[in-house]
Amino acid sequence: MDSDQQVLGRGANLAVQYHDGVTAVRPGDQIRAKMLFFWTLEGVVMHVPGVSPPRKEMVFNGIRYVGVKAADGDLYSLQVHPDTARLKKSVTFIARGPDPGELGEDESFFSEDE
């Protein structure tokens, strides 16, 4: 195993999938994710590791993240399991949509103070 794969986990070279292990995550997918307590995020997938152009902020300490844009324009990140390359069971695929394109240079999934 090469050193990059050791850092990123066994799933580093796998395509990101929803929890079912069959459906691939793609930019433009409409999703619903149960977040903290009773809050639910509904949005569009904007960034998928290995599919979208690389973004330095979407890999941290060997963990990859899928970027989602909510209807109000806020950006969120969803953790990809490092060994299985799957999203959590709480993330539900709703429908495929058109590729939303790339985020602007000034847009980030993480604030500067994180």
Predicted local distance difference test score (pLDDT) of residue 5: 40
Predicted local distance difference test score (pLDDT) of residue 82: 92
Predicted local distance difference test score (pLDDT) of residue 114: 45
Distance CA 98, CA 45 (A): 10
**pLDDT 10s per residue in the chain (114 long)?**
343 444 445 556 689 999 999 999 999 999 999 988 888 999 999 999 999 988 888 988 889 999 999 989 999 999 999 999 999 999 999 999 998 888 777 788 776 544
The H or E element containing residue 3 is: helix 3-8
Q: Which residue has the tokens 């999938």?
A: 17
Residue 25's CB is within 10 A of a number of other CB atoms, namely 24
* Nearest Cα to Cα of residue 104 among 60, 59, 55, 62: 55
Domains and CATH numbers, the chain: 3-93 (2.30.30.1060)
Distance CA 58, CA 105 (A): 14
Cβ atoms of residues 5 and 30 within 8 Å: no
Alpha-carbon distance values, 106 to 99, 110, 111 (Å): 20, 11, 11
Predicted local distance difference test score (pLDDT) of residue 108: 80
Beta strands in 1-114 (DSSP E): 30-34, 40-47, 59-60, 63-70, 75-80, 91-95
- In this prediction the pTM is 0.83
Predicted local distance difference test score (pLDDT) of residue 3: 37
